[in-house]
Chains A and B, each alone.
Chain A
Amino acid sequence: MRHFLKSMYEPRYLDLLFGVLAALSITLIAISAGGGAPAIQALESGWVKALALLGSAIAVTVISTKTTDLDQKLADDFIFMTLTKSALITVMALLIWLVLWEVLFASSLGSIPGYGVLTILLAIWSTAYFLTRWKGTRA
């Protein structure tokens, strides 16, 4: 079982995964550029929403911490470093991109909905992954 799980972290499978994610994000960006989906009206508001947001965020963070531990155990040194470095690049790039978009383009091209941000995240992460694979993990 462990051998099977470890084999899933082989670079060729991750290359394929990030290639598919890149293609998917480009497709979704192209589709969503035409117009956004209508917003869903919230049934609850105020502190209930705040608690739900905070609780779900903490729960997802705890689960992600555990799954990342598993990634670290199963992926080899180079692949884990590639994944973590590209994820760090993605976080920084996404934050900067979001601010720049809101400041420079939102007034003329419109704000980006949540799912639009997700597709941009996938596009950035795929790009960062392949750049790190090519360039290496050293600074």
Chain B
Amino acid sequence: MNNRLKVLRAERNWSQAELATRLEVSRQAVNAIETGKHDPSLPLAFRISRLFAMPIEDIFLDSAN
């Protein structure tokens, strides 16, 4: 699954650490999601969706499609 997390973060001039604090996860977790090494759980995906005020499917792209 690909995602637009890095782009969305950059648009807001947030560092990985800042985004991690807002999401209440570690900076390593944000880095792993951005680099495609980790797919977030559904609860975390919803938190990301709420933070960016965007639907989940606009942030996470199903690679099967």
Q: What is A's interface to B at a CB cutoff of 8 Å?
A: 10-11, 76-79, 81, 133, 135-138
Contacts and interface: CB of A to CB of B under 8 A. Distances in A.
Contacts of B8: none
Nearest to A139: B39
B41 interface: yes
A77 B28 contact: no
Contact of A78 (B24, B29, B36): B29
A66 B32 CA distance: 27
A77 B29 contact: yes
Q: How large is the interface on B (under 10, 10 to 19, 20 to 34, 35 or more residues)?
A: 10 to 19
Contact of B25 (A77, A135, A137, A138): A77
B15 interface: no
B44 interface: yes
Interface string B36-61: 11111100100000000000000000
B60 to A, nearest CB: 13
A81 B38 contact: yes
Nearest to A75: B26
A76 B38 contact: no
A136 B36 contact: yes
A13 to B, nearest CB: 10
Contacts of A11: 26, 28
A138 B28 contact: no
Nearest to A134: B37
Contacts of A81: 38, 41
B31 to A, nearest CB: 9
Contact of A138 (B24, B26, B36, B41): B36
Contacts of A77: 25, 29, 38, 40-41, 44
A137 B39 CA distance: 8
